[in-house]
Amino acid sequence: MTQPRGYYTADEVRLAEAELFTRVPDGVPMRRAAYGLATVVASELRARSGGVAGRTVALLVGSGDNGGDALWAGSMLRRRGVAVTAVLLNPARAHAAGLAALRRAGGRVCADPVAAVAETSHADLVIDGIVGLSGRGPLRPGAARIVAECDVPIVAADLPSGVDPDTGVVSGPAVRAAVTVSFGACKPVHALAADRCGRIELVPIGLRLPEPGLAALEPAAVGAGWPVPGATDDKYTQGVTGVRAGSATYPGAAVLCTGAAVAATSGMVRYAGTAAAAVLARYPEVIAVSDLAAAGRVQSWVFGPGSGTDRAARDELAEILATDLPVVVDADGLTVLASEPELVRDRRAPTVLTPHAGEFERLIGREPDPDRVAAVREFADTWQVTVLLKGRATLVAEPGAPVLINEAGGSWAATAGAGDVLSGMIGALLAGGREPGWAAAAAARAHAVAAELAAHDTGPSGSGAAPISASPLLQHLSRAVGALRSLPA
């Protein structure tokens, strides 16, 4: 099966680079990176302008190795007929060898901050080589002004300057790139701040990397691992999902959550709750009862969407958590757990909590650290649960395992009820025998694909994507699973 894609911290990359420097001659890694950067820029020029020779590129050059990468790449582009100007933001500390190479190739150099704005505005593309892995915090005023007035596409060298490489945090002025060319390894910023990075192009430079602490399931692996009926399966062997969601006040939560469990697998779904009539009206294949005690045998439970937080709901959650079955807790169930964490902390069976940012803050009792990966890892270890922290970059952590990340590629699923769909999907995968971390991460990927498909199916033909609600997202779930399963391994 396809291995997860790893994301490596600045410290991990630096250690791998130090090891690489013992194996190859001095300067080789930078030239490999620069060649890859120049290749991507040339491809962008062809795509945007129809050619390479005669085009114009401006380099924003800082004092670190990323500035050197940009200068060397500029020298290679100059030899292909591109007019290249390097804007030196710190002339005294510009990479000497890279600057010499650019000058030998006939590139121009600009050290005047006033003229720099004109250089970027006249370019076809701009290369961001301001800061790299060592950079922290926002852009300094001079660079910030140039970037703010730049209205042409930017190709970032390794990462967009001003964005934290490990957390993706933007605390002030920063680059927003159309393309980011990553050297040697993907970094957390490329998923945590994907909207700042644009398209990611990975250039191998020969790094030997450790097992990642942050990784993403490849879409093909999600499709290959999704449970489907085998030759001898029946409705019971595929897993029976139990859903306790919704109420007389919020029957829609029950319909969305139960419908997602139905769509995610082809086994059986049992619903227990006061919205049984609404569920049956939409999904007659569901076994729906109004009382938890009458639900029958299941292989997993989903609790919380629209269930309420009163004493009766609390007691039902406690009853479900007292079983030895996998349980997904979402929405109102998380509010109950924030007040009574002991209900889940000593549990031995798999437990998946699916908070959004506000619910996560209530669970930990404080404002979380800006480092979302560290925060979710700490929570999973402390509570001994699997936690899915929602967002465009959804994080899944379980004790003692790498954090899994799903970068949705957009925010189409940021709509009321979408979380109810996600929790139903996870419950179905758990009932089908999938491990909790994988189930949560795989459901997040299929959920994102369904949202994307729904967004592009909503408007009139040819009109482009349009905002969606949770119902069309749910309607596209089966199609999303099919699309993932069709990907080559």
Same domain, 151 and 12: yes
Report the C-alpha gap between 387 and 373 in whole angstroms: 11
Supply the pLDDT for residue 459: 60
Residue 232 shares a structural domain with residue 184 = no
Let me know whether 111 and 195 are in one domain: yes
Please tell me whether 33 is known to bind a ligand.
no
How many structural domains is the chain composed of? 2
393 annotated to a ligand binding site: yes
Q: Which of 197, 214, 231 is the last residue of a domain?
A: 214
Question: Residue 356 carries which side chain, given as an amino acid letter?
Answer: H
Query: Looking at 172, 187, 214, which one is the last position of a domain?
Result: 214
pLDDT at site 464? 73
12 vs 44: CA distance, rounded Å: 30
Does residue 489 have a known ligand-binding role?
Answer: no
Q: What is the CATH number of the domain that holds 352?
A: 3.40.1190.20
Regarding whether 240 and 155 lie in a shared domain, the answer is: no
* 306 carries a ligand binding annotation: yes
Which domain covers residue 83, as residue numbers?
A: 5-214
Co-location of 145 and 235 in the same domain: no
Q: Is 376 left (phi over 0), alpha (psi -120 to 50) or beta?
A: alpha
Are 162 and 296 part of one and the same domain?
no
CATH number for the domain spanning 29: value is 3.40.50.10260
CA atoms within 13 A on the CB side of 254: 29
Domain co-membership, 70 together with 143: yes
Same domain, 201 and 340: no
Instruction: Say whether 391 counts as a known binding-site residue.
Output: yes
pLDDT in tens, the chain (489 residues): 568 899 999 999 999 999 999 999 999 999 999 999 999 999 999 999 889 999 999 999 999 899 999 999 999 999 999 999 999 999 999 999 999 999 999 999 999 888 888 889 999 999 999 998 988 899 999 999 999 999 999 999 999 999 999 999 999 999 999 999 999 999 999 999 999 999 999 999 999 999 999 999 999 999 999 999 999 988 999 999 999 999 989 999 999 999 999 999 879 999 999 999 999 999 999 999 999 999 999 999 999 999 999 999 999 999 999 999 999 999 999 999 999 999 998 899 999 999 999 999 999 999 988 999 999 999 999 999 999 999 999 999 999 999 999 999 999 999 999 999 999 999 999 999 999 999 999 999 999 999 999 999 866 655 678 999 999 999 999 999 999 999 997
Amino acid identity, position 213: G
Please check whether residues 253 and 119 belong to one and the same domain. Answer: no
The response to whether 62 counts as a known ligand-binding position is: no
Known binding residue 397? Answer is: no
Same domain, 122 and 228: no
Q: Let me know the angle formed at the C-alpha of 122 by 116 and 126, rounded to the nearest 5 degrees.
A: 70
CA-CA distances (angstroms) from residue 124 to 127, 149, 254? 10, 15, 52
* 186 & 241 share domain: no
Task: Kindly state the greatest CA–CA separation across the chain.
Answer: 81
Report angle CA 233, 482, 6 to the nearest 5 degrees.
Answer: 105
What is the value of pTM for the model shown? 0.95
Residues 187 and 244 in one domain: no
Q: What is the pLDDT of residue 1?
A: 52
Of 214, 238, 263, which residue constitutes the final position of a domain?
214
Q: Determine if residue 9 is labeled as part of a ligand binding site.
A: no
Q: What is the pLDDT of residue 196?
A: 98
